[in-house]
Structure 1
Amino acid sequence: MNFKVIILAISAVAVGLVELVVGGILPTIAKDLNISIGTAGQLITVYALVYAVAGPVLLVLTSKMERKKVFLVSLLVFIAGNIMTYFSSNITSFMIARVVIAMSTALIVVLSLTIATKVVKPSQQARAVGLVYMGISSSLVLGVPLGILISDAFGWRVIFLIIAVLAAGSFILISIFLGKMPGGDAIPLKVQLKAVASLKLGSAQLATMFLLAGHYTLYAYFTPYLESELQLNSTWVSAAYLVFGIAAISGGAVGGILSDKIGAKKSVLLVIVSFAISLFVLPFTTFSIVLFTPIMIIWALLSWAITPPQQSYLIQSDPSTADIQQSFNNSAIQVGISIGSAIGGIVMAQGGSVSNLPWVGSAVTILALLCAVLSFSRPIVSKEAMENKVTD
């Protein structure tokens, strides 16, 4: 594979680490900053929400700028945000740092994917994108368990200093090996918004959002859940995250195979229903790690299994706006993460037990099922209809 793509994948690893690592060390952060776990969980909410909004907006605003320069500036901002996190002494400064990091990460990830397709031959573009995504998914798998171990050994702040150093290494590699790349014309944000205005496509995006919201209602607080319900220490919590992450990545492959075999629509419905059931059943297995683990693995598999069939469905529904739909599907994922972590925090802030979070998440997932059914019941969006909407 092209060395430049490998560099972009390394950059994806560096920035990918910062999103979910907070989830594994929430109790430690909460104790250090003298805040509740629910309040600490809003660090995930704010990050995901800013990421979702900033991605499309920043891409449009920087579309005509030279891409390497934009990439390097984004990395510098990302590094500054992590250094700011290292020195944060209260929740306010931490929140500001998360906003800075989320905005820069949103742009870095998009640039990594788009540049990767331009530095290879057309026949290698799919593999190039896959390698960058592998970097992102690897960071999600390794980030949380490694973050827990580093936090236990050196304190949670050191994690963000390490991430800043990794990003600095990426900055050096990009500076040396990546050539200048001119900007281009981007689809106006107004046009992008109109592309998801139809009930069929809009409700499909909402299905993604609510599934991730149901997922993160519990996953954002998985560390306190494991500590409270299964009495696991930090080492075993780290191991649980590692198993969860490996299963989640495997879920992407499972979703793709399922979609090819039974079709995108049936796959989406099967994944959502099974996901809701797995969350509902989870609390009944916490008395035994032997019973809990396989249900956790199923939950993890399903959390990523939705992506391949959902993307296929969006493309089939309106091929003319496929790229835009994928972009907004990524935003829907981040908004779902934001909503889910907020719901979990509210439940806990109102005196609800962490043990209730799986049931709340399961209920939220039902909304995803309703949105999917609504989308499937609508006619396919024609190219002509979409063009009329855009030109109105």
Structure 2
Amino acid sequence: MPLALLALAVSAFGIGTTEFVMMGLLPNVADDLGTSVPTAGYLVSAYALGVVFGAPLLTALGARIPRKRMLILLMAVFTVGNLASALAPNFGLLVAGRVLAGLPHGAFFGVGSVVAARLVGEGRQARAVSMMFLGLTVANIVGVPAATLLGQHLGWRATFLVVAAIGLVAMAALARLIPELPPEQGGGLGKELRALGGRQVLLGLLTTVFGFAGVFAVYSYLSAMAVEVTGFSETSVTFVLALFGTGMTLGVLAAGPLTDRAPRPTLYGALAGLAAVLVVFDFTVHVKWAAPVTVVLLGAAGSLTSTPLQMLIMNKAKAAPTLAAASNHSAFNLANAGGAWLGGVAIAAGWGWTSPTLVGAALAVVGLAIAVLAGSLDRGEGSRVVAGAHLEHVPQHQDAQTAGHTRAH
């Protein structure tokens, strides 16, 4: 795999760290800025809001910017957003900093996915995209716990200063390792919008919303379940969350080669497995030795869906895949908000702490049904999906320095 993928993974690590670290720092921020923890929770929503609106907006604005420059600009916005968060004198400006930090999230992964696929030959493109996503999962194992610990001991502002420093390192890596790549041939905002409106692309985005909502319906309340139902101490919650991140990493590592071989079957199997694991978790959450094992499986099944979804959406967008790929991350964040809300509704209705597991299973089944419908319509149209088939690439044998003078063919 090209060394340039390392630059994308480092960037993804920084993005994943700042996205999830706020959940562990809410008490610290609330105490420091004189607000309540529920009110501080709006900082999580502020980041998600930035992702949802920033993904299509920034991708559209940068449709004609060379891909390397676009990636560096997006990481610059990310770095400024985290620096603004670290220096925010009050809660309102901290919310603004979180929105700013979230704006480039979806656009970066949209552009980054297309770049990763263009860096390798056909048959390896899903693996290249999964290598970038690996930075997100490692952030959940290493970045988020370390950044949370740092914030608890040195103050939450120190966390965002460190994440801003990671952003600078990522910008340097992108500048050094990513080759010069022009925008996709024939691209442009009009073509990107038409591609985004395609039936298969929309069905893919709906699959993301419902399928991943099943994951977040449970993940949002995983800490509470571990304490209230399984019987773990509050100090053990970080260990449980790290197990989820470990599962995510395993899922991403498996997703790349599986998607390169058979994207739709991989997606079907991942969503079916996710629904099954969520049903099983309704029982194993009561057992101290079985609950952690199921948490790993939950993380693996959830992340196994991400790469085939991204590749299928990119392929169905054909020659204008960037906006569709970026919008998929808006869909991920809608799934985050919707799944958490539905899981909370079930708990508030008095159905118990474990009720989000069955809510999540139902959402995963809906996602599977949409994916199967899309596959059926695709076969009916006489199409055959091959991961990355319509994406240009830079020959794999070139190193980053040589590829810097190469144009995608």
Change in CA separation of 1:233 and 1:266 when aligned onto 2, cut-off 3 Å? same
Counterpart position of 1:274: 273
For the residues of structure 1 that align with 2:198 and 2:182, how far apart are their CA atoms?
34
Quote how far apart the aligned CAs of 1:259 are: 6.1
Change in CA separation of 1:363 and 1:332 when aligned onto 2, cut-off 3 Å? same
- Encode CA deviations 1:267-314: one digit per residue, 9 max, x unaligned: 434432332232233243333320211221221111012234445655
Counterpart position of 2:154: 154
Counterpart position of 1:48: 48
Change in CA separation of 1:342 and 1:124 when aligned onto 2, cut-off 3 Å? same
Change in CA separation of 1:369 and 1:61 when aligned onto 2, cut-off 3 Å? same
Quote how far apart the aligned CAs of 1:153 are: 3.1
What SS does the aligned partner of 2:289 have? helix
What SS does the aligned partner of 1:287 have? coil
For the residues of structure 1 that align with 2:335 and 2:382, how far apart are their CA atoms?
28
Counterpart position of 1:195: 195
For the residues of structure 2 that align with 1:89 and 1:354, how far apart are their CA atoms?
37
Quote how far apart the aligned CAs of 1:19 are: 1.4
- Contact map agreement 1:52 1:331 (CA 8 A) in 2: yes
Q: May I ask how many residue pairs the two structures share in their alignment?
A: 381
What SS does the aligned partner of 1:378 have? helix
**Residue 301 in 1 paired to residue 293 in 2?**
no
Counterpart position of 1:338: 337
Counterpart position of 1:362: 361
**Residue 74 in 1 paired to residue 74 in 2?**
yes
- Gaps (5+ residues) in structure 1? 385-392
Task: State how 1:31-42 maps to structure 2 within 5 Å.
Answer: 34-37=35-38, 40-42=40-42
For the residues of structure 2 that align with 1:176 and 1:106, how far apart are their CA atoms?
23
Change in CA separation of 1:41 and 1:346 when aligned onto 2, cut-off 3 Å? farther
For the residues of structure 1 that align with 2:179 and 2:199, how far apart are their CA atoms?
43
Quote how far apart the aligned CAs of 1:106 are: 3.3
Counterpart position of 1:59: 59
For the residues of structure 1 that align with 2:232 and 2:26, how far apart are their CA atoms?
15
Counterpart position of 2:93: 93
For the residues of structure 1 that align with 2:314 and 2:58, how far apart are their CA atoms?
24
- Contact map agreement 1:18 1:160 (CA 8 A) in 2: yes
Change in CA separation of 1:96 and 1:355 when aligned onto 2, cut-off 3 Å? farther
For the residues of structure 1 that align with 2:73 and 2:200, how far apart are their CA atoms?
38
**Residue 227 in 1 paired to residue 227 in 2?**
yes
One-letter amino acid matched to 1:35: S
One-letter amino acid matched to 1:337: N
- Contact map agreement 1:200 1:374 (CA 8 A) in 2: no
What SS does the aligned partner of 1:216 have? helix
- Contact map agreement 2:217 2:339 (CA 8 A) in 1: yes
For the residues of structure 2 that align with 1:103 and 1:95, how far apart are their CA atoms?
13
Quote how far apart the aligned CAs of 1:11 are: 2.9
- Contact map agreement 1:42 1:341 (CA 8 A) in 2: no
Change in CA separation of 1:320 and 1:9 when aligned onto 2, cut-off 3 Å? closer
What SS does the aligned partner of 2:63 have? coil
Quote how far apart the aligned CAs of 1:167 are: 1.6
What SS does the aligned partner of 1:362 have? helix
Counterpart position of 2:213: 213
For the residues of structure 2 that align with 1:304 and 1:204, how far apart are their CA atoms?
16
Change in CA separation of 1:199 and 1:308 when aligned onto 2, cut-off 3 Å? same
What SS does the aligned partner of 2:36 have? coil
Which has the larger helix fraction? Answer: 1
- Gaps (5+ residues) in structure 2? 384-409
For the residues of structure 1 that align with 2:202 and 2:95, how far apart are their CA atoms?
30
- Encode CA deviations 1:115-146: one digit per residue, 9 max, x unaligned: 5677x676898476554333333223322322
One-letter amino acid matched to 2:284: T
Identity %: 23
Change in CA separation of 1:231 and 1:42 when aligned onto 2, cut-off 3 Å? farther
- Encode CA deviations 1:1-56: one digit per residue, 9 max, x unaligned: 6665544433332233211223444555566664354x555544443343243223
- Encode CA deviations 1:173-204: one digit per residue, 9 max, x unaligned: 55677787766777344543443545554233
- Contact map agreement 2:120 2:128 (CA 8 A) in 1: no
Change in CA separation of 1:200 and 1:108 when aligned onto 2, cut-off 3 Å? closer
Of 264-273 and 14-23, the range deviating more from structure 2? 264-273
Change in CA separation of 1:339 and 1:89 when aligned onto 2, cut-off 3 Å? farther
TM-score between both structures, scaled by the size of structure 1: 0.77
One-letter amino acid matched to 1:364: L
For the residues of structure 1 that align with 2:171 and 2:202, how far apart are their CA atoms?
37
- Encode CA deviations 1:217-245: one digit per residue, 9 max, x unaligned: 22134333333333434542222222211
Change in CA separation of 1:218 and 1:35 when aligned onto 2, cut-off 3 Å? farther
One-letter amino acid matched to 1:244: F
One-letter amino acid matched to 2:102: A
Change in CA separation of 1:90 and 1:179 when aligned onto 2, cut-off 3 Å? same
**Residue 13 in 1 paired to residue 16 in 2?**
no
- Contact map agreement 1:43 1:95 (CA 8 A) in 2: yes
Counterpart position of 1:390: none
**Residue 134 in 1 paired to residue 134 in 2?**
yes
One-letter amino acid matched to 1:10: V
For the residues of structure 2 that align with 1:260 and 1:185, how far apart are their CA atoms?
23
For the residues of structure 1 that align with 2:286 and 2:176, how far apart are their CA atoms?
54
- Encode CA deviations 1:65-99: one digit per residue, 9 max, x unaligned: 46555544433432232133234566543332221
- Contact map agreement 1:24 1:147 (CA 8 A) in 2: no
Change in CA separation of 1:161 and 1:318 when aligned onto 2, cut-off 3 Å? closer
What SS does the aligned partner of 1:64 have? coil
- Contact map agreement 1:41 1:342 (CA 8 A) in 2: no
One-letter amino acid matched to 2:273: S
